[in-house]
Amino acid sequence: MKKSTDILGLPVISIMEGKELGNVKGLVINPNGGIVTALVRDEIKWYLEAKLLPFSAITGVGEYAVTIEDSSSVASITTAPEFEKLLSDDIKVIGTKVLTKSGRIQGKVTEILIDDAGQITACEIEDVSGQSAEIPAQRILTYGKDVLIIKETTDEQQPVAAATLVQSSVQPIADPEPVAAVPAAPVADAAPAIAEVPAPAAATNDGNADAARKFDDKHRKYLLGKKANRRIETDNGMVIIDQGGEITEEVLQKAKLAGKFVELSMSIQ
């Protein structure tokens, strides 16, 4: 498993010719499936000039070099036009904001992990509290140019699911087969079990609500003092914050009331 920093800057060596062909300057990422399809050999000033190493043509990615069979493995847009759109889209992954499907900001991608086939297996992120965390590729829904969209974790899902689970687990107790010979007994015994169902569900709801409050408070502290990278307005044109403005409690409150909190979270420097 390699990080992008383990690959970028490595010299490219032709095995058959025994010579160095330049250095790795960038990664070409296909967002459909999250895979590194090629390495960029030259500095890109205009993407049509790029020299590429298709990942399938790479013999090995070692500690000190990337090896290929010979210089004929080096491609360009004219010989490999399938890479043109990927270069134009310029999906970096690193530096993008991480957002759950429900709109919760999770942090920012700081690194990607790549296997020997070029597949992205995980993303390292800095979360809203400044701590490091790892997002496995199985949770990633969309590799966007500006935002990485991920699936919710079990802890982030709605509390209704927990309540349903509690009710389901109690049902067998409410229908005791062994005492079927005594008609009145099952009804009397079942009543306490049914009455106790709301209690654990309520406790679960309270726990989830408390976790959500803690997350929102941590997210608010993360945003305070940051600068907005663009102007944000309400739907009727009132300014919430100007570009370069500092995010304060007042700005956060305005954003929440106007339904612009997620937009604000994604627009920080």
Pairing mode of beta strands 11-14, 19-23: antiparallel
- Taking 70 as the pLDDT cut, the residues of the chain under it are 42-49, 154-209, 211-212
Instruction: Give per-residue pLDDT as tens, 211-265.
Output: 667 777 777 788 888 888 888 898 888 899 998 999 898 888 888 888 888 888 8
Plot region of 106 (φ>0 → left; ψ -120 to 50 → alpha; else → beta): alpha
pLDDT at 169: 43
pLDDT at 187: 46
Phi, psi torsion values for 215, nearest 5 degrees: -65, -45
Q: What superfamily would CATH give domain 97-153?
A: PRC-barrel domain (2.30.30.240)
pLDDT at 208: 63
pLDDT at 156: 54
- The CATH 2.30.30.240 domain(s) of the chain lie at 2-89, 97-153
Domain with residues 2-89, CATH architecture: Roll (2.30)
